[in-house]
């Protein structure tokens, strides 16, 4: 398990919770459209919102997103941004309403 996100062993969870420093979002997986990205940035598109996650080795999350196994993604607190990482890590999250 990673501190930045939590996944389950089973597919098709009801929703994805995103904990930001000042706000929490819960987006239903039933409105998931697609995900794309690379090691440094991924985009998760829902019918109502786009989620952009930046960091490192993020491409390893794409399979869990495709299987809808991720239940929680956490935005790092400021102190976590200065830690050294060798594996997957999240440095920022932005969420925008779809137009």
Domain annotation covers residue 89:
yes
| CA-derived radius of gyration, the chain | 13
Supply the range of the domain harboring residue 43: 5-94
pLDDT of residue 1: 41
Domain annotation covers residue 99:
no
- 13 pLDDT exceeds 90? no
Which region holds residue 37: left if phi is over 0, alpha if psi is between -120 and 50, else beta?
A: left
Instruction: State the pTM of this model.
Output: 0.82
Domain annotation covers residue 49:
yes
Of the candidates 94, 91, 97, the one whose C-alpha atom is nearest the C-alpha of residue 39 is 91
pLDDT class of 3 with cuts at 50, 70, 90: low
Cross-strand bridge partners of residue 32: 46
Strand boundaries in 1-99, DSSP class E: 5-7, 15-19, 24-28, 32-37, 41-46, 49-56, 70-74, 89-97
More confident residue, 18 or 84: 18
């Amino acid at each position: 398990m990673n501190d930045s996100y939590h996944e389950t062993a089973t597919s098709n969870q009801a929703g994805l919770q995103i904990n930001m420093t000042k706000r929490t979002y819960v987006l239903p997986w039933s409105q998931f459209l697609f995900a794309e990205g690379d090691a440094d940035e991924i985009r998760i598109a829902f019918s109502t919102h786009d989620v952009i996650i930046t960091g490192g080795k993020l491409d390893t999350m794409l399979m869990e997103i495709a299987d809808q196994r991720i239940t929680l993604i956490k935005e790092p607190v400021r102190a976590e941004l200065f830690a050294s990482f060798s594996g997957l890590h999240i440095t920022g999250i932005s969420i925008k309403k779809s137009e």
